[in-house]
Amino acid sequence: MASTGGAEDAATERAALEHALSGLGTRLASSAERGPDAHRRFEPLVEELRTPAAAFLRPDLEQRLARYVDVDDSFARDQIAHVLADACGAAALPALMRADE
């Protein structure tokens, strides 16, 4: 019988990254999380997502980025832009360029 450990590990990693993005979104929506040292409080979630393994989240990240640009939320925009750039590399450039207009 073949081992499915690799597939299970990948599914577990994907679930963890989806959970981290959900948590980041929830925290970005909370005004209580903003203020002094906000970057430091958000850093663990952002760093967890800044990996090529999170590239599958690109459509969601691009939607979130566009939403934060539309509502002029520069802090949230920057957090998502960092994740998108590191997770997706050059594939993220069009969305990042639109966010910078």
Q: What are the tens digits of pLDDT across the range 35-85?
A: 778 888 899 999 999 999 999 999 999 999 999 999 999 999 999 999 999
- The total number of structural domains in the chain stands at 1
Tokens representing 54?
């999170």
Those residues with Cβ within 8 angstroms of residue 23's Cβ, 6 or more apart along the chain or in another chain? 45
What is the rounded CA–CA span in Å between residue 15 and residue 3? 20
Evaluate if pTM is beyond 0.75: yes
- Helices 74-88, 38-49: axis angle to 10 degrees equals 30
Find, among 75, 70, 80, the residue nearest to 101 by Cα.
Answer: 70
Domain that holds residue 95: 5-99
